[in-house]
Structure 1
């Protein structure tokens, strides 16, 4: 007798709006700054999927993102624990989208490098995080079958040389396309770019 634990519906993303943005970061500080700009825009419920080889700057970007969310804890890669949770903190009024002084969303930082089976992420019950009210950052997202999450912001980081990184953002879904447009405005309005 067969027993079905979960049924996962694969979502076709070809009909969703899609936008792409590429930028070159010339230093660790610029990578963190780009992350911080994105963090300031996040309201909770966002899904950020990172791809890139070891040492490309995924955690470095996430450190800046956390700062933009108002999180002051030290951010490190959750390689051995798979998930690290950081509580949301109050953000300055100028960095909030709504500006209401409420705490920012929690940050759920995943590292799926050690997953051996693409379905393991579901077996571990992490799917609830992906659709919750926090900000989900998933490093090594290609190691899991999360194709059922149609709307997302994918961030591909590539090493160009010792200090430079190419960051390619791919927004899928209208919410993420708008987020990407706002991110571009934030980056170009700031100094250093």
Structure 2
């Protein structure tokens, strides 16, 4: 049973911000100045399973490091937008390339750069520690903080609703 007040049977695509959503919003800096992000293993499992099950998955982030790109490529994510200074442009590209309708898309964001896109999608989602402006426009606020399993939370609820969670290739990486 889902705690999300949206018809999850409509969802065909997931878009995630990275900093503050798929990683914590406090980031240690490497001595060379590059940010070092954490990732949640259960998020990774859910992301790769969603890809295998045919969902369209995208990452739209203002940041850029090779390690972030490599992580999501290894999980099978096809649409990775980095250095996204205006997320609307990358959202539009994703929608055009996939043919999805806004009501078929879940977007998880945590701060002002996500705001415009979140106003357009069917299911805007925020982590528990998101900015208040983002929480105000979200249809679902996860009990999880950024970097602590929000992707797993929403993907699992969606796939369980659609009957695709514990089937087929669910039992392997």
Fold conserved between structures, TM > 0.5: no
User: Which of the two has greater strand per residue?
Assistant: 1
- Structure with greater Cα Rg: 1
User: Which of the two has greater helix per residue?
Assistant: 2
Please state which band the TM-score falls in when normalised by the shorter chain: 0.3 to 0.5
- TM-score, normalization: structure 2? 0.37
- TM-score, normalization: structure 1? 0.34
